[in-house]
Structure 1
Amino acid sequence: MPLSLTITPLRPGDIPSEEEILSAAQALLDSTSEWKEGKAHHGVRTLWHAKRAEDGAPWHCRVSEHTTEDATFDAFWAKLGTDKAKNEKEFIPDIKKVTLVKQISPSQSIWTVYYTFPPPVSPRVFTVLQVTKLSDSLPRTGTIVSIPIDLSSPEDTELAKLEEKGVKGRYVSVERIRELEDGKVEWRMATSSTPGGSIPTFIVERTMAGKIAEDVPNFLKWLHSLPKEQS
């Protein structure tokens, strides 16, 4: 049975093969072309898909196209395909700490990410497996998959010590950086998530499109603020 990407967390010992993960990610990204159109935020197109039987939460997608003045494919991949969690901390204000839990292979790693929010919302902790794949065949494509990970099993006690204290949230996401024929770059991201705790679902869903869309201008602003040798 093909792997289905959901917010249901996996234990480190149950991680599927990289081929299965990337195949599921590709299928999900392909399906976004048929999702319902949402509002544009910050000039970024958004789409959404209602929760299905196999899902733990609804899905949201954002799509943006960029000229080389925004960023080249290489610049996008350098910051999103490598040390993604560390770099997100630099342009997503709610992220206060990221920790590498386990480096499984050059293309697979487990990270825990600590978010803080204005009161009365408690801090949230998201622990994910990140899988990256760069395809050099033209047009070049880079894919980043994040899958929720559960470290509560006894065999994962040492890894769990690296998690911060906070309400456990879960998210699954697939991002694709792709060169287009006109020289532009498309950045597409689809995600499904739950913050955990007692935050009403309707509040989370109402703000999700705008929240994921604002990551695009925030990323570009941060990228352009870096010294040229780092961007």
Structure 2
Amino acid sequence: MSNYLTITPLKPSEIPPEEDILKAADTLIESCTSWKQGKTYQKVVKTYSRGKGPGDGAPWHCRISVHKREEATFDLMWAKLGKDKAVNEKEFIPDIHKVTKVKEISASQNIWTLYYKFPPPVSPRVFTELQITQLSEASPRTGTIVSIPIDLSSPEDAELAKKEEKGVKGRYVSIERIVELEDGSTEWRMATSSTPGGSIPSWLAESTMASKISEDVPHFMKWLHSLPKEEAPKPTEG
């Protein structure tokens, strides 16, 4: 089942059932504390990694952080991570310069294309991804976002492919999960496997992954705290 979670892209017609993807994602994100522990960044972001296994196209990396209610509530984090995630990522990840919704499959499934620009000599990268979101109101409340690479090169997807920017095709698969803890804090986990494509050596990309993914946490929190207070959703009753 975990072979759904790989950097090998799927055609839109090959997307498996949502419940199968979410089940595989839940198993993987639960397992990441058993991986090799790496550095802790910003004193709060713990990192883990595991080598490339059967069915994997690249090694995996994970980060885990816990945020007190006064820093960010579960409701507010889910509002910005679980809804229009790609649009919001453009606001707090400096390398993302453009995002486009390619196709809305359902209320919980959308295909997005993200255009990244990097300092020279690295060429721009294009990542086209299916994003699946699920919110469980059962205790503990849990929000999950899964991103899987999508290939739009088939003739039947030509119209969708017109929405992609020009650039080297990169690929990533990721699982993000936020869980509301008993004390009102929120645990935020993210696990990812990726390839930047092009001529960047895989060893070079891998060597910076832990640091790179840890940066998203302070970037997100800084952006979140810069938003007008009226954007914060009211806490869910019960």
Normalised TM-score (structure 1): 0.98
Name the counterpart of 2:213.
212
Name the counterpart of 1:173.
174
Give deviations 1:152-181, integer Å, cap 9, x for gaps. 000000000000000000000000010112
Gaps of 5+ in 1: none
Name the counterpart of 1:72.
73
Establish whether residue 36 from structure 1 lines up as the match of residue 36 from structure 2: yes
Equivalent AA in structure 1 for residue 229 of structure 2: K
Establish whether residue 139 from structure 1 lines up as the match of residue 177 from structure 2: no
1:4: how far off? 3.5
Aligned residues between the structures: 231
Distance, in Å, in 2 between the alignment partners of 1:71 and 1:62 is 17
Q: SS in structure 2 opposite 1:98? A: strand
Kept after mapping to 2: 8 A contact 1:103/1:109: yes
1:18-33 → structure 2 map (5 Å cutoff): 18-33=18-33
Give deviations 1:23-68, integer Å, cap 9, x for gaps. 1101111211211100112221000011112110000000000001
Give deviations 1:103-123, integer Å, cap 9, x for gaps. 000000000000000000000
Give deviations 1:166-201, integer Å, cap 9, x for gaps. 000000000001011222100000000000000011
Kept after mapping to 1: 8 A contact 2:3/2:56: no
Give deviations 1:76-116, integer Å, cap 9, x for gaps. 00000000000000000000000000000000000000000
Q: SS in structure 2 opposite 1:192? A: strand
Distance, in Å, in 2 between the alignment partners of 1:25 and 1:190 is 9
Gaps of 5+ in 2: 233-238
Distance, in Å, in 2 between the alignment partners of 1:221 and 1:179 is 20
Normalised TM-score (structure 2): 0.95
Distance, in Å, in 2 between the alignment partners of 1:4 and 1:144 is 14
1:194-213 → structure 2 map (5 Å cutoff): 194-213=195-214
| Identity %, equivalent residues | 71
Distance, in Å, in 1 between the alignment partners of 2:129 and 2:147 is 6
1:1-231 → structure 2 map (5 Å cutoff): 3-43=3-43, 44-231=45-232
Distance, in Å, in 2 between the alignment partners of 1:218 and 1:30 is 24
Following TM superposition, the consecutive aligned residue runs of length 4 or more in structure 1 with deviations greater than 3 angstroms are 1-4
Distance, in Å, in 2 between the alignment partners of 1:38 and 1:104 is 37
Distance, in Å, in 1 between the alignment partners of 2:54 and 2:209 is 21
Distance, in Å, in 2 between the alignment partners of 1:206 and 1:2 is 24
Distance, in Å, in 2 between the alignment partners of 1:2 and 1:122 is 31
How big is the alpha-carbon RMSD for the aligned residues of Structure 1 and Structure 2?
A: 0.9
Q: SS in structure 2 opposite 1:214? A: helix
